Amino acid sequence: MDRPPALASLRDSIASRRTSATDAVRNALDALARLNPAINAVVQTFPDESLAQARDLDTTLAAREPVGPLAGVPIVLKDNICLGHGKTTCASRILEDYHSPYSATVAQRLINAGAIIIGKANLDEFAMGSGTERSIFGPTRNPWDTTRTAGGSSGGSAAAVASGIVPGALGSDTGGSIRQPAGMCGVVGFKPTYGRVSRYGLVAYASSLDQIGPIARTVTDAALLASAICGPDPLASPCLPQPAPDLVPHLNEPINRPVIGVPKQARSATNHPAVSAALDRAIHAFTGMAAEIVEVDLPLTDHGIAAYYIIALAEASSNLARFDGVRYGRRAAAGMSGKGGDLMDLYCHSRAEGLGAEVQRRIMLGAHVLSAGYADAYYNTALKVRRLIRRDFDRAFAGTGGPPGSATGGCHAILMPSSPHPAWKLGEKAADPLSEYLEDVYTVGVNLAGLPAITIPGGLAAGAGTSGEDLPIGVQLIGPALEDAALLRIARMLEQTADPAWSAPPA
């Protein structure tokens, strides 16, 4: 398909006035009108606001006044990120008419950088899912094969970028929700170190795991977006106080003889053959760059799923308690004055009407693992496993004490798949939620450990689509905490060996 320019190219074209910001936004809105009906990636648009912002920016550029580093670039936000205009629905009936009175820190930082937010992207309700199938707006469809999932829960953001509607988007990643859909849609998804990006204005799913990050077509574009949103925020207590480094200036400087760890658990027999082939291809590419490939052991990889879902669901049951029909969101008629019933009836009816089946399932499971008599057996045990998972990553990165690349050192980065399979058919996993949860086996450990990770296109599953279409396969690189810049440099090294066809869905 004819693809619009990547984010960096479009930004440079606008800054030099070869392209106007107004044309860039109009082109994105036109692409949205043409492409979105088939994939349902974007669920609300802001044409008046975005075109007005673009015209103001063109006036500023014409006057040769300074503009931000993302001036004129059209962006979409996942619809669990608050914006001061439009709605923030989290794809849930309970928030279908909610208007946020403020913008999230990341949204405001994008606006301050000159980016133009043209709409909100679809997601699994409250980000609880791996396929963007559980949404009041209907499922998002994969641009490579519209009978298949775009991944989730940031599938709308990934599909909007993969289809060419916008050059960049923001998603949220609780257990792989940026990286997994990016891999399934053939684009780049980056989860920074936990705390590098403010969560203020992100509707919480699991607060100790949630992380906002960019989805884009290239590592450079992802780094540009991440640089704009990273940094301390006094409004968000988990946000790291130290200034975030600029992720862009040294991006194209290769790391000399990097040490790349490959977990033996990444060789699972359950992997689709194309996933194993993509992993081998990435190893071969690194070997050709004089990298040292070492096997590492992450023995709790399979246990990560259980620990993740216990912790995430426990936090979700607490975070979503506020959506009760009184303080926030949809209010049921039952229990209201003159309708009979009491306050508890109002709570129960409002939540039953407003929350989907998967969200209700996760809230009930979360409440169960926190309940008296079960917290030690489940929640506290999961927290102990979380610490052990972080310890395993630390050992892989530290080796026996020396710096990465030394005789006693560990890895600069860990390489593994982003998902064990390519995109599945819509509805295929509806009757078996556990099979969907297991698609996150390679991503949840990163969130439990709070590490940075990035998915880039790694190959194609040839003919794996419903009608013989190729489907993209992502490979994931994981870095030590706070080494986001080095991780992006390594990802850029691997990206330069990729075939452009891996990130260009057919017209």
- Catalytic residue, from 154, 177, 317, 503: name it: 177
Cβ neighbours, 10 Å, residue 194? 23
- Catalytic residue, from 78, 120, 191, 429: name it: 78
Q: Is 153 one of the catalytic residues?
A: yes
Torsional class of 360: left (φ above 0), alpha (ψ -120 to 50), beta (otherwise): alpha
**What are the φ and ψ backbone dihedral angles of 476, each rounded to 5 degrees?**
-115, 135
5: exposed, middle or buried (Cβ count in 10 Å: 0-12, 13-18, 19+)? middle
Measured in whole angstroms, how far is the alpha carbon of residue 197 from the centre of its chain?
A: 13
CB 123 within 8 A of CB 78: yes
Distances (CA, A) of 259 to 79, 278, 287, 393, 497: 38, 19, 10, 14, 17
CB 454 within 8 A of CB 418: no
CB 106 within 8 A of CB 63: no
- Catalytic residue, from 20, 130, 153, 172: name it: 153
CA angle 121, 124, 125 (to 5 degrees): 105
Mutual angle of helices 484-495 and 273-288, in 10-degree steps: 100
Max CA distance (Å), the chain: 76
Q: Is 87 one of the catalytic residues?
A: no
Tokens in use for 284? 């071969």
- Give CA–CA dist 69/12, Å, rounded: 9
Tokens in use for 431? 């009757």
Write b or e for each residue in 428-441: b if 16 or more Cβ atoms lie within 10 A of its Cβ, otherwise e: bbeeeeeebbbbbb
End-to-end CA distance of the chain: 4
C-alpha dihedral sign at 79, 81, 87, 91? positive
Q: Which of 134, 183, 124, 194 is nearest to 154 (CA)?
A: 124
State the DSSP code for 5. P
| 3-state per-residue secondary structure call for 308-346 | HHHHHHHHHHHHHHHCCCCCCCCCCCCCCCCCCCCHHHH
Q: Is 384 one of the catalytic residues?
A: no
- Give CA–CA dist 216/386, Å, rounded: 30
- Give CA–CA dist 210/115, Å, rounded: 23
State the DSSP code for 81. B
Q: Please give the positions annotated as active site.
A: 78, 153, 177
